[in-house]
Structure 1
């Protein structure tokens, strides 16, 4: 497939920028951002401003829709990809949408958003990094910043210019299905890992491979009662500020370009309609100058009934939301918001403020000068350099929790038996938000499974035997590794209100290994701590691998001692599910405390 010449991309972009005229005077790219925004706003009709405030799902629009309705943004929801799902197809798709936007009178480019939450995870064969809970275990903001930079390069090559990341939630109840999207249970850890914002955006938004970052979900989504996804945060304002606000403050200080509002409520009031949280605290107190975006159909939850209403539209906009993600009913949203403005229920001042924020970020990103995919970065998608970075991150994320009689590190020249449903499954080890929204088991994308990594790291001539369910092992093996844990899930599907232990298949696999009499090391692939206290005395070793992504050799590096384990628990590990929620300093006795992690003595 022929790649667009990068110099051609730049020429087209400059032409688009210089085409914006006021009274015949060009709005040149070298003029101050505020001046360029003022001139644009002076030319824009109400319909153009409403279009800029609308974000539609790419499958719900045509090129003609983009031009006719002056749409300001598109997104790919989880799993929404072109066919074939290749980097080149992504670039072709986004460029086509962009050409439609540039056919509008003011030639305002689109900003295209994706959930690149652990790498460019919608794209087949992109580098999939560990989910945030594993990155929190590394305690390494510099490493996390580098992951943001690598992700930005892969995103840039394929066309999008906005990622709905990082998730800066502070997960306080491991029953919550989005626990793995959290860097950890304490605000200082999530605040430190806000370094990924600088990785995504660069030191300035207009730099090479700079994409807009999104601090989400504002605010308190990790603190809902019972760990209920999209539930209610029943905390005092002092507690909300102490636990859940600091990571957003850190992101704002780093110049994060956008903030996404949480589906959750605070004391019964949905955050999407909470003017005090959005306007008074975020925009005024924290001095956030970027754009506030809703979550997927988030405004529809304000009154608790299906189907958004005029009241929900005006409530959300007046509360301070600047761009509304209305994936499919975007036309009705535009019509409804227009009626609310014309009736005086949403002031033009609010509409202009929203547009000022949106246009400012588009200009600062350089979209008017460079609206198309920078295909010089296509070669970075799934590159060896990025995969090496991911492997290093995986190794740094491993937390050694038990190591009786120094069963680890394993001898590279030993006879080893490997079992478990997560040993040879790239989909399981990558988790949710991988290629599709919920993720899936199996060979969903290219990568190195943990079993592959073990085989590649073991010495030549050594024996590595694999059986998924553990059958076939005997006492001749020096050790057995059981790679077990969770299967992929994401929001909605991930909450665990009941049991939180291993399933019967995993327990059966481990028991078959134990029956052979050889030492057993359990490697847990999971998005949260699991209820394993009753089983732990039977195991010789335990490693928390979290959701490592596509580079399973990083797990093997630690198992064999190529890398020493340095990971520390980003969350408190429960003795039983009945302890949930359990967090540092709450007076409960955990199985392993926050910050726990062993290393090798040899």
Structure 2
């Protein structure tokens, strides 16, 4: 599904964030721990908005076509991927140099492409809330970086400027607007906001010039979006939602994002044989579309089960193997089942439950649902491939890694499970490499490429191939 078919006029790109600690519950919203990778992938702005002409003025928002393109929102400015201990909405403790080198790095490229809006972060930088930081929102973003679109708050973001939240709302309004916030997301008490804003302008606490600047920026974006002439998206575009072409593209994205972390003990274990006599499929994530999709799918935090159309890993396996192959599926097989027959191999799919934002914050990152125990029980009796479905690396204990025959990081593949079996059964090779460092234990966190004493389980950039001799580091 494209954004235009979803009847959207603005997309919130979360990919300008550089996640430096996987304990953070929004880590899967980041492309990488490496700011250069995140910076290079800001080309999504052009993908959404279109390519600005060479003479387009720097920093001004751009939209190529009202029908075919959507406005982009780069978020969250800035440093939310670097909070202490990965706490959501926490405090990023770092120098100005590190803030610029790591967390601000993707933004100049977004601005050069004419990104329309930027959303402020819930987090703090050295104790100062971003929603109240005139230095970062006005001096840096609008001044130094030359951003001419509008800055929007996060959902009830200004309420977080006092404790209890929103208790001194007039203070929250004054702090955020004077800092450079142009548009405020207010889901409930907009009348109170208007009342306080008018009071603050009339008393001079918020200068009229600040209001004029905000209005100019908002109207600038509205004019290029065509919202005055075409306030609604074209409903005819909905006819292609979920079409075959789009599902094939999603399937391709799945297989290209997979990372092969282990392939055999003494010789390659993958690709798997399609004509095996009998195979075992197990694990909490083998037949669960909701788990494959993760958070922000259908519901805020996602859900479990058949929440949307798609193909589970189990269904993809059943579709991929020979009609003569017996596929035995047990989410949590007993010892009796594991020992009941001669399985050619087992595929165990484990991982995280869906989550979003702070609900995903975790201090320990072991495999949920006693996943390591399940893997060990199966792998002790049957040659085993493990597929990890997660928004971040999880702890793979040494004894587990030694016992299994192959390991694939599938991340959050979404609805197209066939993208996974495309690689498992050898129709396509693995091409993905790790955009993050896969740690040995949670005690190592945070760990990032370039650190002193860098010693991950699998290093940044690691990824194996099945059919090439140049396996290992990419």
Q: Which residue of 2 aligns with 1:245?
A: 104
Work out the CA distance in 2 between the residues paired with 1:389 and 1:322: 37
**Which residue does the alignment assign to 1:105?**
none
Q: CA deviation at 1:244?
A: 0.4
Residues 351-362 of structure 1 mapped to structure 2, 5 A cutoff = 351-362=211-222
CA contact (8 A) 2:390 2:411 kept: yes
Q: Distance in 1 between matches of 2:72 and 2:106?
A: 14
Give the 3 Å change call, closer, same or farther, for CA 304–250 of structure 1 in structure 2: farther
**1:411 maps to what in 2?**
273
| Runs of at least 4 residues off by over 4 Å | none
Q: Give the Å deviation of 1:504.
A: 4.7
The 3-state SS of whatever aligns with 2:247 is: helix
Per-residue deviation, residues 1-46 of structure 1 (Å, max 9, x unmatched):
xxxxxxxxxxxxxxxxxxxxxxxxxxxxxxxxxxxxxxxxxxxxxx
Q: What residue is the counterpart of 2:358 in the other structure?
A: 492
Count matched residues. Answer: 448
- 1:126-152 CA-to-partner distances (Å, cap 9, x unmatched) read x4xxxxxxxxxxxxxxxxxxxxxxx22
Deviation string for 1:303-361 (max 9, x for gaps)?
34311521221111111110001111111111111111111111111111111111111
Aligned to 1:171: 19
Write the mapping of 1:197-346 to structure 2, written as runs, cut at 5 A.
197-203=45-51, 205-207=63-65, 208-307=67-166, 308-346=168-206
Whole-angstrom distance in 2 between the partners of 1:343 and 1:495: 42
C-alpha deviation, 1:206, in angstroms: 4.4
Aligned to 2:343: 477
Distance in 1 (CA, whole Å) between partners of 2:40 and 2:201 is 41
Asked if the contact 1:403–1:541 (Cα under 8 Å) also holds between the matched residues in 2, the reply is yes
Is the CA contact (8 Å cut-off) linking 1:176 and 1:228 kept in structure 2? yes
Find 1:523's aligned residue among 367, 376, 387.
Answer: 387
SS where residue 3 of structure 2 aligns? helix
Q: Where does 1:583-598 land on structure 2 (aligned, <5 Å)?
A: 583-587=448-452, 588-598=454-464
> Would the aligned equivalents of 2:255 and 2:423 in 1 still touch at CA under 8 Å?
yes
Following superposition, the deviation at residue 460 of structure 1 comes to: 3.1
The aligned counterpart of 1:104 is: none
- Contact residue 166 and residue 197 of structure 1 kept, 8 A: no
Looking at structure 1, the residues matched to 64 and 455 of structure 2 have their Cα atoms a distance apart, in angstroms, of 49
Aligned partners of 1:429 and 1:548 also within 8 Å = yes
Stretches of structure 1 that go unaligned for 5 or more consecutive residues are: 1-126, 128-150
TM-score, normalised to structure 1, is 0.73
Structure 2-normalised TM-score? 0.92
Cα pair 1:153 1:380 within 8 Å, conserved: no
Whole-angstrom CA distance in 2 between matches of 1:330 and 1:182: 31
1:494-552 Cα shifts (integer Å, max 9, x gaps)? 0012x211135323322332242x21011000011001133211111100000011111
Contact 1:417 1:466 in 2 (8 A): yes
What value does the CA root-mean-square deviation take over the aligned residues? 1.4
Are 1:179 and 1:527, in contact at CA under 8 Å, matched by a contact in 2? Answer: yes
- Partner of 2:370, secondary structure, is helix
Q: Which structure has more helix as a fraction of its residues?
A: 1
2:321 is matched with which residue: 458, 464, 470?
Answer: 458
Corresponding residue for residue 436 of structure 1: 299
Aligned-residue offset at 1:491: 0.7
